[in-house]
A and B are shown apart, each in its own frame.
Chain A
């Protein structure tokens, strides 16, 4: 059974009043509740994506000893709204030779792929939109849509820069999906489940219960996942599809105004989702450091702030990495993926499987405590 936010709310008393108010029409009620929550998710995600651009510029300014945006609002924090208004009012230019339908479709593919991943994003034990029983599997599958969007963007523009960027993007995203999938497989093996709810529930309690510290192989798998995720979201040092010093701006060279904005928004939200998934799979997710028996809405809110905090910490690392490391060359990129990350990921998987059998599924901490 897939738990949704509605089934969670149904256990509270106020839900009975609502059902009494709506009478027989319970489909309408569940639809309204679900749409309200989905709307909140979309709004929060879009804000986080917008603030991501601000954070990126501010942190890069810090790293390079500049001021960064500081005019719009306090500390320039409203810069992303100003950027959004500017993008909407920009002239919409499309090359005459472009494939019009695919040109329109490409940013939509990116956006749909990213928003669909938000549906299973584990924010708390109750408020996750839907806790699919094939959660991680679904997430890996649906996030590939972004790769399709990138390639379509490059292909439909009919510009040589875009074409090169799109081809690089497609080959990069599909290549790095392998180490990421195998790292996620490692966690599936440890947890014995594909649903985010179960995976996070298995890491309940203090830091030693986190899967990243479960065994040495899971520890390495975390880094493999993180590097692969950086590459999948086209972040530096793997931002070859949009390498601005070589390919002008890669697959979105021909995109202006709002359509470019959607590409950027999708990228920043995807970075957040990827960080959140890393936090949920490896870093204990939304669990409180102590075990709480009671289940109340304030506790759900604390859980939400915990996972958002962890994701934002990883988000900071992503930006930090971008402004610290130089970009890779395209053949280095491929050899890192296929010759280093994939074999390491397979090694981790085998190591984890053997560990589980030899130590009867105990974690390192449990072995050291020696119970």
Chain B
């Protein structure tokens, strides 16, 4: 058996390199073949044919931020579950099935708790509905009264 020096993540790097080559090749052909007649109006951003008003780089909606945060938490959790899932079968065959299942479930319960909390807080609604905000505003004063 011959030794192969292309191993590990090297093939991935090669594929990425080929993608870059394809991109540059396409660009090069485009530069050679395309016509170039830039005008002032052509080079404005498209805004329904009007001259653009201001820049598009304005403040982000906070919703996108919350979605990003939830995503990161869930992604990290699922990444941590991959090793457990990989050895699950082995442990099961060794007769440790119930033990590994309990470990697994306790891990997932954290995930479920997280999603339940986000749901309760209304973070999973893209548009926070009137009901959620109304319920909060009703609940808080009545609590104060009861206390």
Chain A interface residues (CB < 8 Å from chain B): 2, 4, 6-7, 10-11, 15, 19, 26-27, 29-31, 34-35, 38-39, 41-42, 46, 87-98, 107-108, 111-112, 114-116, 118-120, 129-130, 132, 137-138, 142, 155, 157-163, 167, 170-171, 174-175, 177-178, 181-182, 185, 188-194, 248, 253-254, 257-259, 261-262, 330-331, 333-335, 338-339, 342-343, 346, 349-350, 353-354, 356-357, 360-361
A357 close to B92 (CB less than 8 A): yes
**Interchain CA distance A261-B12 in the complex, whole Å:** 23
Q: Which residue from A15, A112, A162, A338 sits with its C-beta under 8 Å from B124?
A: A338
B90 touching A331, Cβ below 8 Å: no
Check B64 against A331 for contact (C-beta < 8 Å): no
**B101–A129 contact, CB under 8 A?**
no
A367 to B100, CA, bound (A): 23
* Partner-A contacts on B (CB < 8 A): 1-9, 11-12, 14-16, 18-20, 22-23, 26-27, 29-31, 33-38, 42-47, 52, 55-57, 60-61, 63-64, 67-68, 70-71, 74-75, 78-79, 81-82, 85-90, 92-93, 97-98, 100-101, 104-105, 108, 111-112, 115, 118-119, 124-127
Count of inter-chain pairs, beta carbons less than 8 A? 239
* A-chain residues with CB within 8 Å of residue B100 when the two chains form the complex: 357
Residue of A nearest to B43 (CB): A96
- Measured between beta carbons, the chain A residues less than 8 angstroms from B47 are 159-161
Partner of B61, one of A38, A167, A189, A259: A167
B43 adjacent to A346 (CB under 8 Å): no
Cβ–Cβ contact B104 & A353, under 8 A: yes
Contact of B35 among A11, A89, A190, A349 (CB under 8 A): A89
Partner of A30, one of B6, B22, B63, B108: B6
Shortest CB-to-CB span from A276 to chain B, Å, is 15
Which residues of chain A are near B26, meaning CB under 8 Å?
88, 258, 261-262
The 5 lowest CB-CB distance pairs between A and B, nearest first, are A192-B89, A159-B45, A331-B126, A115-B19, A130-B11
